[in-house]
């Protein structure tokens, strides 16, 4: 299974998303940067099995890209051998370990 990682650290809008997607997946020349086109290529044009994973999403991006998430969840239901997951960014604890030096 091929896994494509889309890092949302530098994605602010759909234009940024589609630019990164095109770097990761060979999309048809006629691909239009819209959710209908994305659904069409997932359910009919991409080589399967395929897993797409969004990493480092913020809570704000969950709202901004809600339609994208819904589209991919629907495509997951329709396309055999396609799966999709997303993960919110995590912050490391900035506190240093405190040790006793007695």
Q: What is the 3-state secondary structure (H, E, C) of 30-87?
A: CCCCCHHHHHHHHHHCCCCCEEEEEEEECHHHHHHCHHHHHHHHHHHHHCCCEEEEEE
Mean pLDDT of the chain: 89
pLDDT in tens, 4-50: 999 999 999 999 999 999 999 989 889 999 999 999 999 998 989 99
Q: Per the confidence metrics, is the pTM higher than 0.85?
A: no
Q: What is the pLDDT of residue 35?
A: 97
2-88 CATH, one of 3.90.550.10, 3.40.50.620, 3.30.370.10, 3.40.50.720: 3.30.370.10
Taking the domains of the chain in order of start, what are their residue ranges? 2-88
């Amino acid at each position: 299974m091929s896994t494509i990682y889309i890092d949302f650290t530098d994605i602010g809008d759909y234009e940024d998303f589609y630019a990164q997607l095109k770097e990761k997946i060979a999309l048809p020349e006629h691909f239009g940067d819209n959710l209908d086109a994305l659904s069409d290529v997932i359910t009919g044009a991409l080589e399967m099995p395929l897993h797409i994973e969004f990493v480092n999403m913020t809570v704000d991006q969950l709202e901004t890209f809600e339609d994208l998430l819904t589209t991919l969840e629907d495509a997951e239901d329709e396309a055999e051998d396609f799966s999709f997951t997303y993960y919110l960014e995590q912050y490391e604890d900035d506190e240093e370990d405190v040790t006793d030096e007695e």
